[in-house]
């Protein structure tokens, strides 16, 4: 398959854009094989060099090594997430352990580590620039944390753990996606009581895509099931949908994830012990801003109790609303959203059906682009003549607003489909660098909004749009010299700051007055509706905070186990929630069997990062409010420095340079409408 394989020829599309129209699943195995072969040859040549190690012939040479594999993997794993099929999934299962073997051969190469160690030992004598010193220090640390300093038997075991974990985490994600793809709740006209038009239209669209014309389908994508739980007055159907949603990966059979969780957690605990750490959480957090599990738990528990008290108060109000509506007995988790929405509507005279006509997807995209122009001086122009992997995706050229210089390409893929994994995320087809040559980035945002005409969003959907675009800007604006430091290649508990702080500009009245316009009349959102909407945002924060924090605490607890070999995930989850005093009516944001952040993503012992970054983003946006201008030019310039820096500087140093001081947690509690814990 070498002949005609697009990975073995230069890409001649504008800006080196991937030739999606030429790339087929059968091209990936030979390209991955050759990429690994060439990559190992590159690294072996560095390790076996007869020259004394220098920064150029070792560290910079490693930055240049394995370029073919980087290109193949970036396309493969993005497509496998955005638009997969059985062939791509089979390749992922086959090559995940092979890629883990490849990485282990590099990270555990004793000659390569010896060269890096020699440079690290005399780093202060090398005359390195700041970013180079950080690259050397973190390269050395990466080798150590991968096991390069261990004895031979331990290194062999580390490699085996890495290979097996890669297989298990790939299966975990595929199991969740399989459950999401196969389950559907087929509704007739008589099952739609309570559902607003936009939910009905999205359900009709989902049914049509499945060949069920004239019917309606609710799927397990959040954009489908959450509105159904919020508005459906059919309690039996709500219970059915809720249980299917929360039981993804926990249904027995071929897609059950309990055994995978048990083995993954045990392997991670063993990995930590080999590296001299008491638990995997200790190992993972040692290379973060937080540094220790106790620091993470301190933050989460600062939030937990005030959130729990508020959630209990919310439960009492919601229970009263349900009783007044004729419901007998205690509400359950599948009742909360329905009656919470009724309370919110009664208290603020507000519901999503009233808000959504003002949040047309196209207008929110324009809002996020124009915000970036005002803050960071970049503009976006849609390109129509580049090949894309799916008709729903769009590509934009990003240019400097002052000079018209090309900055990068941005792909946006907004709608849910069965071939796309759930959730919303940013990724890169190519990262920027300014090392051997200037290479501009190709960044992608994926969302899972329900497809309908017109495409109307909730306020939360719009926040998701802004959040992921904040990640995209982190990749697009990067001025890091080396690819290993580019864009989002930062500490796990700092990577969410640029995305979460960007969300604040959506809620700024300046943004909403301009872009929240009625999709039919073109009229701006009324001031009184805007006021009610912003006031209503704090209602339900007890529920939202507990749903997130319970998941973050469970992550920390399961990765703090010293002997998890006989772990029962169901019992572990149940016992942990009981100890926390979790109200039964509040469901976790992610239960263990479908917690892809932990078991098929990069957030193991790291899910707390969203709240850690929220301390930064709430405190950071306060600087703009204190300045009296959410587009204050000087603050915008200093904030842009963070987006541009990548991992060239310590994250707290970057934050202090922007804010003038370290962050304070009070802003987070105030932003969430929670009273500070006594």
Instruction: Answer whether 380's CB lies under 8 Å from 366's CB.
Output: no
Is 86 a catalytic site residue? no
The span from the first CA to the last CA of the chain, in angstroms, equals 67
- Contact present, 317 and 347 (Cβ < 8 Å): no
Active-site pick, 468, 503, 614, 644: 468
Q: What is the DSSP string of 597-613?
A: HHHTSS-TTTTTHHHHH
Cα–Cα dist 272/265, whole Å:
11
CA dihedral 138, 141, 147, 151 (to 10 degrees): 130
Quick one: CA torsion of 77, 82, 86, 88, rounded to 10 degrees?
-20
Q: What are the φ and ψ backbone dihedral angles of 538, each rounded to 5 degrees?
A: -80, -15
- DSSP secondary structure string, 375-436? HH-EEEEEE-SS--SSTT-EEEEEEETTT--EEEEEEEEEE--TTS-SS-EEEEEE--EESS
Do the Cβ atoms of 325 and 342 come closer than 8 Å?
yes
To which residue do tokens 């699943």 refer?
A: 25
The burial class, CB within 10 Å (0-12 / 13-18 / 19+), for 523 is exposed
CA dist., res. 416 & res. 431, Å (int): 26
Residue where the block lists tokens 């109790």: 305
The two structure tokens encoding residue 280: 């995997």
Which residue numbers are catalytic? Answer: 468
């Amino acid at each position: 398959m070498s002949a005609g394989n697009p990975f073995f020829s230069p890409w001649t599309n504008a800006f080196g854009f991937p030739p999606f129209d030429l790339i087929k699943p059968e091209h990936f195995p030979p390209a991955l094989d050759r990429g690994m072969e060439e990559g190992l040859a590159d690294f072996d040549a560095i390790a076996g060099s007869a020259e004394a190690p220098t920064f150029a012939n070792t560290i910079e040479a490693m930055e240049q090594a394995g370029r073919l594999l980087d290109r193949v993997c970036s396309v493969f794993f993005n497509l496998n997430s955005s638009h997969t099929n059985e062939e791509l999934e089979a390749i992922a299962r086959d090559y995940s352990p092979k890629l883990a073997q490849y990485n282990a051969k590099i990270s555990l190469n004793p000659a390569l580590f010896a060269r890096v160690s020699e440079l690290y030992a005399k780093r202060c004598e090398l005359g390195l620039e700041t970013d180079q010193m950080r690259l050397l220090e973190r390269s050395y640390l990466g080798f150590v944390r991968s096991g390069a300093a261990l004895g031979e038997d331990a290194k062999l075991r580390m490699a085996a753990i890495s290979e097996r974990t890669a297989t298990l985490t790939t299966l975990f994600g595929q199991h969740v996606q399989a459950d999401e793809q196969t389950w559907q709740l087929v509704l007739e006209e008589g099952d739609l009581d309570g559902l607003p038009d936009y939910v009905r239209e999205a359900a009709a669209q989902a049914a049509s895509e499945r060949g069920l014309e004239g019917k309606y389908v609710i799927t397990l994508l959040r954009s489908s099931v959450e509105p159904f739980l919020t508005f459906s007055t059919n309690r039996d159907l709500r219970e059915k949908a809720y249980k299917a949603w929360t039981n993804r990966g926990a249904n027995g059979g071929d897609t059950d994830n309990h055994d995978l969780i048990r083995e993954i957690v045990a392997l991670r605990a063993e990995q930590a012990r080999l590296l001299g750490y008491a638990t995997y959480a200790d190992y993972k957090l040692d290379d973060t801003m937080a540094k220790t599990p106790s620091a993470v738990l301190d933050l989460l528990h600062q939030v937990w109790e005030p959130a729990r008290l508020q959630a209990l108060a919310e439960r009492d109000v919601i229970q009263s609303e349900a009783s007044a509506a004729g419901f007998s007995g205690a509400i359950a988790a599948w009742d909360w959203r329905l009656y919470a929405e009724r309370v919110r509507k009664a208290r603020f005279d507000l519901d999503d059906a009233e808000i959504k006509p003002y949040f047309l997807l196209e207008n929110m995209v324009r809002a996020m682009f124009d915000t970036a122009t005002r803050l960071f001086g970049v503009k976006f122009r849609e390109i129509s003549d580049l090949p894309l992997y799916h008709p729903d995706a769009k590509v934009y050229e990003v240019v400097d607003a002052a000079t018209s210089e090309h900055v990068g390409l941005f792909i946006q893929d907004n709608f849910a489909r069965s071939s796309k994994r759930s959730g919303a995320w940013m990724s890169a087809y190519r990262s920027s660098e300014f090392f051997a040559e200037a290479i501009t980035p190709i960044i992608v945002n994926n969302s899972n909004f329900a497809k309908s005409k017109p495409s109307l969003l909730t306020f939360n959907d719009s926040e998701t749009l802004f959040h992921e675009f904040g990640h995209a800007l982190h990749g697009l604006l990067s001025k890091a010299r080396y690819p290993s430091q580019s864009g989002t290649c930062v500490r796990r508990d700092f990577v969410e700051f640029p995305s979460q702080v960007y969300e604040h500009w959506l809620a700024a009245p300046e943004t909403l007055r301009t872009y929240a316009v009625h999709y039919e009349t073109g009229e701006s959102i009324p001031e009184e509706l805007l006021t009610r909407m912003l006031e209503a945002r704090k209602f339900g924060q007890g529920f939202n905070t507990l749903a997130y924090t319970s998941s973050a605490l469970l992550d920390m607890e399961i990765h703090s186990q010293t002997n998890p070999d006989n772990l029962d995930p169901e019992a572990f989850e149940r016992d942990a929630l009981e100890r926390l005093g979790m109200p039964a009516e509040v469901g976790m944001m992610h239960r263990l069997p479908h917690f892809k952040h932990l078991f098929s993503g990069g957030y193991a012992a790291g899910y707390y990062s969203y709240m850690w970054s929220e301390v930064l983003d709430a405190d950071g946006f306060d600087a703009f409010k204190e300045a009296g201008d959410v587009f204050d030019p000087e603050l915008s310039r200093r904030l842009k420095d963070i987006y541009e820096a990548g991992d060239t500087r310590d994250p707290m140093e970057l934050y202090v340079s922007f804010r003038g001081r370290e962050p304070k947690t009070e802003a987070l509690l105030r932003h969430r409408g929670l009273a500070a814990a006594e």
